[in-house]
Structure 1
Amino acid sequence: MAILFDVHPQNPQIRLLKQAAQMINDGGLIAVPTDSSYAILARLDDKDAAAHLRRIRGLDERHHLTLLCRDLAEIGHFAKVDNQQYRLLKAATPGPWTFILEATKDVPRRVSHPSRKTIGIRVPDHPITLALIEAVGSPLLSTTFIPKDETEPLNDPEEIMAHYGHELAGVIDSGSCPGTPTTVIDLSSGIPEVVRTGAGNPASLGL
């Protein structure tokens, strides 16, 4: 059964986040609030954890998973970014945006899109999410916590515990988060394409 971590929303207890980080490093999945909605997080290089994450969401290999990075510099290790793309990323991050970019060789092939070789990338604007990435020491594989065959993300940690406690290693409770998925922008073709409109307003980026 998952452990419920009661974490302060602005000043997260590092001791608790280190416990959650160890669960991720041990192959577990953690449900975490972000600046958009709850997400499920896993270690990037853990094949079984990635497969488990897809099973919970009911996703096939063609669905883009997302890497949560600490900053723009870290994005450059995992995605190929040209000058124009960099300017857009700089204007949007951190924040509730996911960008589809061409993956570098540092991204395991099993988590990138099988034919396009692309990956979702984002830098969240949430102290707990960022602190957890820091505690793990590397970007985390993630997906919005939308139940299988549903369209709205979960936003209640108690509900997540009740329905998915047997599937997860832990759930972080720091109060509610906005409950709206990120806005997804595909940059892989050279021309920005808004794939999903969510918490981020495309007009603020001139799109």
Structure 2
Amino acid sequence: MPAELVKLYPENPDPQRVREVARALREGAVVIYPTDTIYGLGCDIHNARSVERVARIKGIKPQKNDFSFICYDLSHIADYARVSNQAFKLMKRLLPGPYTFILDATNNVPKLLNTNKKTVGIRVPDNNIPRQLVQELGNPIITTTLRDETPDTVEYSTDPELIFEKYYHDVDIIIDGGIGGYEPSTIVDATTDEFRVVRQGLGEVDWE
């Protein structure tokens, strides 16, 4: 079946539609959704078959994925990552925002993703749509950037109508949250307290 196109407004997402999408995620749906940077592709972290679908769409092996988790806030982060006091303070100051924090993974993560991953990326985007989806779902969702790659350039999909035209046979739901960004999140390695910017993206990092 072709994907359903769902219109949601980041300022005030319709709670009924959010519940419907969360229920679909719980039942195994793969969803494209807006973030505070680029549109993302993801699913419920507890559905292994859906994680495999996301990996296929991205053209990678599930065991070698570099997926991150979208969380509503930092309240359950200890379930998935080991966080030092310094890292927690930095994340609390910068999140929600356009950052991905790389942290040491707890034993839960390999079980969830069927990988040998030692680290996990954590996102708390400054966009109410994915955060309310996660809150309604009751656990994080997998996220990976939706992008079109050519040998010479990487182009990020920003127009939800064009995204729908391209991906409506691959996913179950595409959320139209307006025109998306084209600059990715800033990735910060916080596995030690010597924080390191792995990729400079939209988020500015000030260690002070």
Name the CA distance, whole Å, in 2 between partners of 1:135 and 1:75.
17
AA matched with 1:71? D
AA matched with 1:97? Y
The answer for the alignment partner of 2:64 in structure 1 is 62
The answer for the alignment partner of 2:165 in structure 1 is 162
Specify every segment of 5 or more residues in structure 2 that has no aligned partner in the other structure, as ranges: none
Relative to 1, partners in 2 of residues 1:142 and 1:131: Cα closer, same or farther, differing over 3 Å?
same
The answer for the alignment partner of 1:71 in structure 2 is 73
Relative to 1, partners in 2 of residues 1:146 and 1:112: Cα closer, same or farther, differing over 3 Å?
farther
Which 10-residue stretch deviates more, 62-71 or 160-169? 62-71
Name the CA distance, whole Å, in 2 between partners of 1:91 and 1:112.
32
| 8 A contact 1:92–1:205 mirrored in 2 | no
Name the CA distance, whole Å, in 1 between partners of 2:110 and 2:172.
23
Name the CA distance, whole Å, in 2 between partners of 1:58 and 1:195.
23
| 8 A contact 1:58–1:148 mirrored in 2 | no
Name the CA distance, whole Å, in 1 between partners of 2:66 and 2:193.
18
TM-superposed deviation, 1:8:
2.1
Name the CA distance, whole Å, in 1 between partners of 2:71 and 2:30.
17
1:183 has 2:186 as partner: yes
Which 10-residue stretch deviates more, 185-194 or 139-148? 185-194
The answer for the alignment partner of 1:35 in structure 2 is 36
AA matched with 2:5? L
SS in 2 for 1:88: helix
Name the CA distance, whole Å, in 2 between partners of 1:95 and 1:113.
28
| 8 A contact 1:109–1:117 mirrored in 2 | no
Name the CA distance, whole Å, in 2 between partners of 1:198 and 1:163.
25
| 8 A contact 2:45–2:112 mirrored in 1 | no
Relative to 1, partners in 2 of residues 1:190 and 1:9: Cα closer, same or farther, differing over 3 Å?
closer
Name the CA distance, whole Å, in 2 between partners of 1:92 and 1:38.
20
Name the CA distance, whole Å, in 2 between partners of 1:187 and 1:27.
31
TM-score, length-normalised on structure 2? Answer: 0.90
| 8 A contact 2:157–2:180 mirrored in 1 | no
Alignment of structure 1 residues 86-105 onto 2, 5 Å: 86-105=88-107
The answer for the alignment partner of 2:121 in structure 1 is 120
TM-score, length-normalised on structure 1? Answer: 0.91
- Number of residue pairs aligned between Structure 1 and Structure 2: 204
Structure 1 stretches of at least 4 aligned residues deviating more than 4 Å after TM superposition:
none
TM-superposed deviation, 1:187:
1.6
Paired-residue identity, %? 33
AA matched with 1:67? F
TM-superposed deviation, 1:159:
1.2
Name the CA distance, whole Å, in 1 between partners of 2:113 and 2:207.
28
TM-superposed deviation, 1:189:
4.2
Name the CA distance, whole Å, in 2 between partners of 1:155 and 1:112.
31
TM-superposed deviation, 1:113:
6.3
| 8 A contact 2:46–2:112 mirrored in 1 | no
CA deviation vs aligned residue, 1:17-44 (integer Å, no higher than 9, x gap): 1111122111111110011110012010
Relative to 1, partners in 2 of residues 1:113 and 1:92: Cα closer, same or farther, differing over 3 Å?
farther
TM-superposed deviation, 1:148:
5.1
Name the CA distance, whole Å, in 1 between partners of 2:201 and 2:14.
30
Match of 1:83 among 78, 81, 85: 85
Name the CA distance, whole Å, in 1 between partners of 2:114 and 2:127.
25
